[in-house]
Structure 1
Amino acid sequence: MSTSAPPDISPDHTPDRTTDPELAHEQAHLADARRELARMRAKTLATDRAAGDAVSDAFLAGALARRAESLQDDPTSTLFFGRLDLDGSHPDAQGHETWYVGRRHVSDEVGDPLVIDWRANLSGAFYRASRTEPMGVTRRRRFGVDRGRLTAYEDEHLQDATEQDTRSAILASEIERPRVGPMRDIVATIQPEQDTIVRAGAGTTICVQGAPGTGKTAVGLHRAAWLLYAFRDKLSRSGVLVVGPNRAFLEHVGAVLPALGEVRVGHTTVEELVAERAPVRGADEPAVAVLKGDARMATVLARAVAAQVRPATEPLVVPRGAHRWRVPAYEVEQLLRELRERDIRYGAARGVLPQRLAHHVLLAMERSGDSPDDQVQDAVARTSAVKKYVETVWPALDPRQVLLGLLSDADVLARHADGVLTDEEQRMLLWHKPPRSKASARWSLADVVLLDELADLVDRTPSLGHVVLDEAQDLSPMQLRAVGRRCSTGSATVLGDIAQGTTPWATASWEESLAHLGKAGSHVEVLDRGFRVPALVIDYAARLLPVIAPGLGAPQSVRDNPGRLDVERVATEALPDAVVDTVQALAAEPGSVGVIAPESLLPALQRALDARGASYGVLGRDHGDVDHQVDLVPATVAKGLEFDRVVVVEPARIAADEPDERTGLRRLYVVLTRAVSGLTVLHSQDLPELLATAG
C-alpha cells in the first residue's frame, strides 16, 4: 500500500502542483465535479414545471424540489472519497478504466460520469474487492479529506503479488475523526461484511445482531438509502420508515439519510407509531406491562373482537314497494358463519355483509318471479332496514371501547382469556378503579399497543415497503407485532444486540422476535468486529457479558488505536466538581463529550456545570439536543448514541436504578460502550463486582 500526504491545499481548492502532481490532478477532478453538480442543480431549478392541471403541477414541483435538495453540495465534505482503477474484466465497467466513488452521481453535460453513486453495482467493488477476489480492480484509492479538500491519498494494488497487506491509515483516521452533532454517514468506511447487509435485496428481511461499535445502526440506515436507490419506483410509492428507541436517538441519526440524498424517509418511535390510537397518560407496573406485551394478548383480543358478532335471532325483513321481503334467521346465521370462517378483518366483513344480505333478498325476489338486477341489489343494501339489521348482528367497533370492557369487567376478561391467561394474570390486568368512559381512561403505552392490535383486527393497517427497526431487542412481542403490521407486505432491517436489552420484556432470541414481527425464518447476520469502540473500552465493558448474555461472544475491536480508559474514585461530595474538571479537560480537544449519569444525579451535575460557566446540552428532554460539544445524558437515553469521549458517573447507581441485577448490568454495558476514543469512569460508590476486579 502506498500513501501520499502532502501539505495542505489552499482553501480556494487550487492545488499546489509543485507538491504532488497526482494529488493536484485529483483536486482538479474534484473541482470539475463540483462545477458539474452546480450545473445539474441549476438545471433542475430552472426546469419548466408547467403541467396539465394543478395537482400534476404540485406533484412535479415537489419532485423537482426534492431533486434540487439532493443535488446540494456540502462544502465541508467532498463529492468522492474513493477511486477504482479497473482492468476491463468487471461486467459493469462499460469500457472505462477509472471511476470515482462518492455520495451521489455527478455527470458532465454529455452524460459521462465524473462520480458514481456509492450504491451503484460497480461501487460494490470499492467495498468488497480483495487480493483473493479483486473483482477486476487493479488499484483502489482512498482519499484523505479535510474541510472539503483532498489532503492525501492511499493506494492498494490488489493484483500486485509483491505488495503487502497493511491497515489503511486513512480508513482508521476517518473512523476516529472527532465529531460534534448528529451521526455522520459511514459511506467512506463501509466494510465488506457491512456491505453485504447494505445490498441485501428489497424482498429480504435481515436481522443484524451487532455488538457495540460494529456500526449496525449506520448499516441499517445505509441499507435504506441503497434500497431507495435500487428500487426507487417501488419504495417511493410504498414508503420507508426508521423506528428508533427514543426521540434523542432519532435526532442523533436523522442527518445520515439526507447526507446520502434521501430526504423522504420517516423517523419515529414505537410510541409515536401507535399514538393515533389514544394519548398515553398512564403507566403500568413492570409485571403488568410485561403481561400486556405478551403475545398471548393477541389471542385474547382476537376473541374479544370475534365475540362482537351477535347471533341472528330474528329474520331480516326489507319493505320494498308493496312487498316485504324476508330472509330467515337461519340463512343469516349461515351467512355470518361463512364470513367468520373467511378470516377477513372485522370491518371488511361488516362492509361486505349488506351486499350479502341484499343478495339473499334478491334470491327471494327471483323465487317469486321477479327479475331484479345489480342496481336493485345495491339499492336494497343501502336501505335503512338492512343497515339497522347489520348493526344488530355485526355492530361497528371502537377499539377503545372493546379494551375498556376487557380491563374493567372480570367476567368479560375471563370469557375471552379462558385457557390463555391464568386467573392470577387476569387479576393483574384488571383496573382496580375502572374509568367512567373511554375518554377518561389513562391509557399506558402497553394499552395503546393493544389498541393498535385491536384497530388492525377491525381494519388492516397499511403496509410500507421497508421498515428499519433499531434497538429491536427492547420491544415486547406486542410491540413487534405493531411494527410488523407496518411492513406486512414489505421487508425489514432489524437491528439490535441481545446483550443491550434493558426492558423487562427484552428478547432472548432473535428467532422469537422475528416470528412476532411476522418475519419468521429471516436471516440473522452477526457483526462482532468493532470499528467504533476501542479495545480498552470494549474489553472493560465485556466483563459484564457472562452475566448479561451468557453464550454471546465478546466483540473484537479491530482498531490499532486501543483508546483510553480511566477509572477514578472520588469522594461523594467532590463528585460533581470532579465531573466538571474532567469535562473541561476533555472539551479542550476537538470532538464530542458525553456525560452519562443516573437521572437522579443530573440536577447536581447541571448545577456544577452552570456554576463553572460550562456550555452543554441535555438529551432526552422533549427532543435530542445534539449540537453541543458537551451533552449531559440520562443513562436511560444513552442507547444508540456515540461520543468521542464519554464520562460515566456512578456506575453502581446506574445499575441499581433498574428493577433487577441483570437488567441493571445490561444498562451499564450500554452506557460503557458509547465512547469512540476514550472512557472515563468516575465513582464514589463501589463498582459492580465484575468491573472492580483487576484485568
Structure 2
Amino acid sequence: MTSRRPGGTPLSTPLSADDPLSRERSHLAASRAALRAMREDVESLDIRDVTANWVNAEVLARQIDDRIKALADLSDTPLFFGRLDYLHAPGAEQAEGAGGERFYIGRRHVHDADGDPMVIDWRAPVSQPFYRASKKDPMDVALRRRFGYTRGDITAYEDEHLSDPGEAARTSKLLQQEIERPRVGPMRDIVATIQPEQDEIVRSGLGGTVCVQGGPGTGKTAVGLHRVAYLLYAHRERLARTGTLVIGPNRSFLHYIEQVLPALGELTVRQATVDDLVAHVEVRGTDDAAAAVVKGDARMAEVLRRAVDSHVTPPTEPVVVVRGSRRWRGPAYELEDIVRELLDRDIRYGAAREALPQRIAHAVLVQMERSGEAPDDRVQDAVARNSAVKAAVKAVWPPVDPAKLVLRLLTDADFLARQAEGVLSEEEQKTILWRKPVRSVKSARWSPADAVLVDEATDLIGRTHSLGHVVLDEAQDLSPMQYRAVGRRCTTGSATVLGDLAQGTTPWATRSWEEALGHLGKRDAVIEELTAGFRVPTDVIAYASRLLPHIAPGLTPVASVRENPGSFEVRAVAGDADVVAACEEALRHEGSIGLIAADARVPALADALAAAGLPHLAPGAGTTAEARLTLVPASLAKGLEYDYVVLDEPRAVVDGEPDERTGLRRLYVALTRAVSGLTVTHTGPLPEQLAQGAS
C-alpha cells in the first residue's frame, strides 16, 4: 500500500499535469460540474403540457422537487471517496464493469453530457469490490484508491495494489482516519468506511429479515440505514409502492440520525417511534414497572382476541326477509352455522362482520332458487341491505371500537376476568386494572403500553397496512406486544432488526433474539453478530466490558479495531465544580462533547454549567461552533455518540433504575458513547462490578 500527500503544497498552486493528485482534483471538479448540469436539466423541465390533470401535475412536480434535492452537491461532503481499476479485459463470463476500466465510487451516480459515468453509486454491483476485495480475493481489482479530504477538497490518496503479490496487506491509514474523524453535528453516513462484514448485511436481499446483534461502536445503526439506502437502490419501484420505515427509540435518536439517508439521496423514508405508530389514543399517563410488564406480555394478545370475539352472540331468532309479497325465513340454526364458520376461519373481526350479511343473503337466495326463482347478484346485494338482515348482523356481530374495548378491559374487573381466565393470574389482572373510574376514552389517562393494546385490538378488527421494509433500531428495549405492533407493519415485507442485548434497559428487555423475532412474526430471520468496534477506543470498551458478565454473560465482548487508543481516565472529584472543569478540559479538543449523568443529577449540573458560563445543548441537537457540549440524561444516551464524554457519578446512574441489573445496563450504555475519550468523575464509590476484572 502506498500513500501520497501534497507535501504542504497550497491547493491554489498549480500542480503538474502528471501529478496524480492534480488529475484526481480535476476529475472531482469535472464531476461536480456534471452533477450541477444534471440538476439544472431537472430544474429546466417544463411539465405544463405533459399532465392530464392538476393531481398528476402535483405528483410530478413533487417527484421533480425530490429529484432536485437528491442531486444537491454538498460542498463539505466528498462527491467520491474511492476508485477501482479493474485488471482484466472484459469477457462474457465476467461481471459488468470488469475489463481494465476505472470507476470512481461515490454517494450517488454522476454522468457527463454523453451519459458516460463519472461517479458510480456505492450501491451498484460494480462498486462492491471497493468494500470486499482483499489481497486473498482481489475480485479482479488491480488497484483500489482511497481519497482523503479536507472540507470537500482532495488532500491525499492511498493506493492498494490488490493483485500485486509483492505488496503486503496493510491497514488503510485514510480509512482509520475517517473512522476516527471527530463527530460534529448529527450522525453521518459511513459509505467510505463500510467493512466487508457490514457490507454483507447492507447488501442482503429484500426478501429476508436480518437481525443484527452488535455491541457499542460496531456500526449496527449505520448498517441498518445503509441497508435501507441499498434496498431503495436495488428495488426502488417495489419499495416506492410499498413504503419503507425507520423506527427509533425516541425523538432525540431520530433527530440524530435524520440526515444520513438524505445525504445519500434518499428523501422518502419515514422515521417514527413505536409510540408514533400506535397513536390511536392520546397518551397522558404512565404505568409502574409491574403493570407495564404485564401489559407488554404477549399473552395480552390472547386476552384481547377473546375480548373482541366475546362480542359475537350466537343467533336465537330467525331472520325474516320480506320481498314483495313473499317472506323468506332464515332459521336460527342456519345463521348459527354461518357465524361458527366465520369464527373458525379466524379472519379479522371487521372483515367477518362485513361478510356476514352477504352470507345470510346467500342462504336466502338458495331458498329462492329452490322455489323456482332465478335471483342474480343484484338480488343478493338487495337482500344483504335489507333492514331485517342489518338488524340481525347488529345483534349477532356488533361493531367494536378498539379503544372502548381496551378501556373496558382495564376498568371492568369481571370482564377482564372472563377474558383472561387461564391466561393471566388474578394478581396480574389486579396489576393492570385501573383504580379510578373513567367516564370516556377521551378522559382516560392512557399509558404508552395501553396505546399498544389499542393498536393490537385495532388490528384484530381491521388489518394493519404492511410496508415493504422496516428498520427497527434499539430493538432490545421493546416489549413482546411492541414487537407485535412493529411486525404488523411488515407482515408482507421484511425487516432489519438492530440491537444489543447488553443494552436492554427496560423491565421487559429482550432476553433472546429468537424469542423477539417470534413476536415480530419473523422466525426465519438470519441473526448476524458484529463484534468489531470501530467507534469506541480500546481502553474505554475494555473498561465497560467489565460489566458484561453481570448484564449479558453470553455475549462476545466488542474488540476495538481503533489504532488510536483514545484517552481514558477515572477521576475522583469533590463536587459539581470539578465536573464542570472536566467538561472545560474536554472542550479543548476538537469535536462534540457529551456530559452524561443520571436523570436526577441533570438539573444540578445544568445550573453548574450555567454558573460557569458554559452553554450546552439538548440530546440530539446538532453541535455548533458556539455550543459543542450536550448535557445528556442517562435515559436518553442510547444510540448517541460524542467525541469526548464526561460521565458523572456511575453509582447514581445505576441507582436511578428500578433494579441493579437494569442500572448496570444503563451504565454500560453511558460508558460506551465516547469516540475519542472518556473521563469518569465520581464523588462516591464506584459500582463494585467496575472494579472486578481490573488488573
TM range (shorter): over 0.9
Query: What is the match of residue 176 of structure 1?
Result: 180
Q: Distance in 2 between matches of 1:504 and 1:339?
A: 39
Q: Which stretch shifts more, 171-180 or 685-694? A: 685-694
Percent sequence identity is 59
CA contact (8 A) 1:249 1:624 kept: no
2:617 corresponding residue in structure 1: 617
Q: 1:321 is matched with which residue?
A: 324
Task: Report the secondary structure of 1:233's partner residue.
Answer: helix
3-state SS, counterpart of residue 182 of structure 2: coil
Structure 1 position 367, deviation (Å):
2.5
Could you list the per-position Cα deviations for residues 170-198 of structure 1 after superposition, in whole angstroms to 9, with x for gaps in the alignment? Answer: 01111111121100000000000000000
Match 1:129 to one of 133, 140, 143: 133
Query: 1:51-450 counterparts in 2 under 5 A?
Result: 51-88=51-88, 90-93=94-97, 95=99, 97-275=101-279, 277-450=280-453
What code does the residue aligned with 2:630 have? Answer: D
Moved more, 149-158 or 56-65: 56-65
Cα shift at 1:7:
4.2
Output the CA distance in 2 between the equivalents of 1:57 and 1:254: 29
The structural deviation recorded for 1:651 is 0.6
Query: TM-score if structure 1 supplies the norm length?
Result: 0.97
Aligned to 2:40: 42
Corresponding position of 1:581: 581
Give 2:491's aligned amino acid: S
- 1:597 is matched with 597
Cα distance in 2 for partners of 1:378, 1:119 equals: 53
Output the CA distance in 2 between the equivalents of 1:686 and 1:448.
41
Is 1:547 matched up with 2:512? no
- Once residues 223 and 451 of structure 1 are traced to their aligned partners in structure 2, the CA distance between those partners, rounded to angstroms, is 31
* Paired amino acid for 2:688: E
Aligned equivalent of 1:682: 681
Distance 2:175 2:448 in 1: 43
Aligned to 1:532: 535
Q: Does 1:486 align with 2:496?
A: no
Q: Secondary structure at the match of 2:335?
A: helix
**2:649 paired with 1:645:** no
Give me the whole-angstrom Cα distance separating, in 1, the residues matched to 2:13 and 2:99: 29
Count of residues paired in the alignment: 686
- Call closer, same or farther: CA 1:263–1:520 in 2, change over 3 Å: same
* Aligned counterparts of 2:356 and 2:593: Cα–Cα separation in 1: 62
Q: Is the 8 A contact 1:362 1:377 kept in 2?
A: yes
- Structure 1 counterpart of 2:123, one-letter code: R
Question: What SS does the aligned partner of 2:23 have?
Answer: helix
What SS does the corresponding residue of 1:115 show, helix, strand or coil? strand
CA distance in 1, matches of 2:172, 2:117: 27
CA contact (8 A) 2:211 2:527 kept: yes
> Displacement of 1:625 after TM fit?
5.7
The question of whether the paired residues in 2 share the 8 Å contact of 1:130 and 1:158 is answered with yes
Aligned pairs for 1:661-672 (under 5 A) are 661-672=660-671
Contact map agreement 2:303 2:423 (CA 8 A) in 1: yes
What residue in structure 2 maps to residue 6 of structure 1? 6
Q: Is the 8 A contact 2:107 2:264 kept in 1?
A: yes
Task: Summarize the Cα distance change of 1:15–1:54 in structure 2 as closer, same or farther, 3 Å threshold.
Answer: farther
**Any idea what SS the aligned residue of 2:595 has?**
strand
What is the rounded CA distance, in whole Å, between the counterparts of 1:206 and 1:499 in structure 2?
19
> C-alpha separation between the residues in 1 aligned to 2:179 and 2:130?
17
1:632 alignment counterpart: 631
Paired with 1:20 and 1:611, the residues of 2 have a C-alpha distance of 58
Question: Residues of 1 paired with 2:384 and 2:100: CA distance?
Answer: 67
Counterpart Cα distance in 2 of 1:238 and 1:638? 33
User: In the alignment, is the contact (CA less than 8 A) between 2:534 and 2:562 conserved in 1?
Assistant: yes
Shift of 1:429: 2.0
3-state SS of paired residue (2:118)? strand
Q: CA deviation at 1:427?
A: 1.8
Judge conservation of contact 1:318–1:326 (CA < 8 Å) in 2.
Answer: yes
Q: Structure 2-normalised TM-score? A: 0.97
Q: Evaluate the alpha carbon distance shift between residue 687 and residue 325 of structure 1 in structure 2; reply closer, same or farther with a 3 A threshold.
A: same
| Shift, 1:691, TM fit | 1.8
Shift of 1:618: 1.7
CA distance in structure 2 between the partners assigned to 1:577 and 1:428 by the alignment: 44
| In structure 2, C-alpha distance between the alignment counterparts of 1:75 and 1:551, rounded to whole Å | 46
* Partner Cα distance (2:656, 2:18) in 1: 58
Deviations 1:291-319 (A, max 9, x none): 11111111111111111111101111222
1:625–1:390 distance in 2 versus 1, CA, 3 Å: farther
Residue type at the aligned position of 1:205: T
Helix, strand or coil: the match of 1:432? coil
Q: Which deviates more from structure 2 when the two are superposed, residues 493-502 or residues 432-441?
A: 432-441
Q: Is the 8 A contact 2:567 2:678 kept in 1?
A: yes
Give the Cα–Cα distance (whole angstroms) in 2 for the partners of residues 495 and 20 of structure 1. 47
Contact 1:6-1:20 within 8 A present in 2 as well: no
The superposition leaves residues 441-491 of structure 1 with CA deviations (integer Å, 9 ceiling, x where unpaired) of 211111110110000000000000000000101100000000000011000
Displacement of 1:167: 1.2
Q: Determine the C-alpha separation between the residues in 1 that align with 2:209 and 2:656.
A: 36
Inter-CA distance 269–20: structure 2 relative to 1 (3 Å threshold) = farther
In 2: Cα distance, 1:520 partner to 1:269 partner: 23
* Alpha-carbon distance in 2 for matches of 1:237, 1:418: 43
Q: Is the 8 A contact 2:86 2:98 kept in 1?
A: no
The amino acid of 1:481's aligned partner reads: R
Residues 504-543 of structure 1: pairs in structure 2 closer than 5 A: 504-543=507-546
Distance 1:312 1:138, change over 3 A: same
> What amino acid does structure 1 have at the position aligned with 2:471?
V
Check if 1:659 corresponds to 2:658.
yes
CA contact (8 A) 1:9 1:149 kept: no
1:150–1:270 Cα change, 3 Å: same
SS in 2 for 1:618: coil
Q: Is the 8 A contact 1:15 1:27 kept in 2?
A: no
Unaligned runs of 5+ in 1: none
Preserved CA contact (<8 Å) 1:537 1:673: yes
Contact 1:650–1:682 (Cα < 8 Å) also in 2: yes
Q: Secondary structure at the match of 1:81?
A: strand
Contact kept, 8 Å, 2:368 with 2:375, in 1: the verdict is yes
Aligned residue for 1:504, secondary structure, equals: coil
8 Å CA contact retained: 1:252, 1:626: no
1:212–1:555 CA contact under 8 A, matched in 2: yes
Q: Residues 52, 590 of structure 1: CA spacing in aligned structure 2 closer, same or farther, 3 A cutoff?
A: same
Deviation at 1:579, TM superposition (A): 2.0
Amino acid at match of 1:403: V
Shift of 1:144: 0.2
Q: Which blocks of at least 5 consecutive residues in structure 2 are unaligned?
A: none
Q: Secondary structure at the match of 1:40?
A: helix
Instruction: Report the alpha carbon displacement of residue 96 of structure 1 after superposing the two structures with TM.
Output: 5.3
Bigger CA drift: 377-386 or 185-194?
377-386
Q: Secondary structure at the match of 1:318?
A: strand
Select which of 495, 500, 508 maps to 2:498. Answer: 495
On the 8 A contact 1:6/1:19 being kept in 2, the answer is no
RMSD: 1.5
Deviation at 1:624, TM superposition (A): 4.6
1:589 positional shift: 2.3
